[in-house]
Chain A
Amino acid sequence: GAGVSQSPSNKVTEKGKDVELRCDPISGHTALYWYRQSLGQGLEFLIYFQGNSAPDKSGLPSDRFSAERTGGSVSTLTIQRTQQEDSAVYLCASSQDSAIYGYTFGSGTRLTVV
């Protein structure tokens, strides 16, 4: 597509439930990134996929968080047993081979855990 598409745009879930957030990157972009932005905070790196290489999961805050990227395109970020501190905007970005030219971000998914 023309831009990075994320769905849903908003998600309200009960504490303890699992959620899945979806990201559809720009066609042809081999790199895909997930970041988390808590209220009034900066961008916290979560996970990075590049082509067929093993993902860089160094930013995932706990084992409740996981992500996969199928067929080198769409990615799903899964949060299991959600906690209130998981409430944040989850941003997905994609880039061509290297990040040197910057990322293109989606509009994010605002997750609220009640």
Chain B
Amino acid sequence: GQQLNQSPQSMFIQEGEDVSMNCTSSSIFNTWLWYKQDPGEGPVLLIALYKAGELTSNGRLTAQFGITRKDSFLNISASIPSDVGIYFCAGQRTGAQKLVFGQGTRLTINP
């Protein structure tokens, strides 16, 4: 079953607002990834994090790998309509070959 707790499950915001979502686990991961899924499509990789404490940006997106290696967050600044979708966190444990996914955060933006 799911081992990553992602929150919030859904967000309804105004265009231009900043967004923050996070993912926590009871166990350590050595890689954290954030994906976005548009309707009718598969998830697309946004940001990958490989070191505890690492802070990485991709345009208006910023993600951090928690220092304990048990959490990660994703921030979106100045949201725009195309940010709508479902955001998933994913983690990989040392030696594991598959990713564990969070339940997703559904982002809705009111223009």
Q: Which residues of A line the B interface, CB within 8 A?
A: 4, 31, 33, 35, 41-43, 45, 48, 50, 56, 91, 93, 98-108
Interface residues on B, range: 20 to 34
Does A48 contact B97, Cβ atoms closer than 8 Å? yes
Does B88 contact A42, Cβ atoms closer than 8 Å? yes
A-B contact pairs, 29 of them (CB 8 A): A33-B98, A41-B103, A41-B104, A42-B2, A42-B6, A42-B101, A42-B102, A42-B104, A43-B43, A43-B88, A43-B104, A48-B98, A56-B97, A91-B42, A98-B97, A99-B92, A99-B98, A101-B48, A102-B35, A102-B48, A102-B99, A103-B45, A103-B99, A104-B45, A105-B44, A106-B42, A107-B40, A107-B42, A108-B41
- CA of A93 to CA of B31, assembled, Å: 18
- CA of A108 to CA of B42, assembled, Å: 6
A residues near B45, Cβ cutoff 8 Å: 102-104
A residues near B63, Cβ cutoff 8 Å: none
Given known A-B contacts A31-B97, A41-B103, A43-B88, A102 and B33 have beta carbons under 8 A apart: yes
A residues near B96, Cβ cutoff 8 Å: 99
A residues near B42, Cβ cutoff 8 Å: 4, 91, 93, 105-108
Q: Indicate with 1 or 0, residue by residue over B1-40, a CB within 8 angstroms of chain A CB atoms.
A: 0100010000000000000000000000001010100001
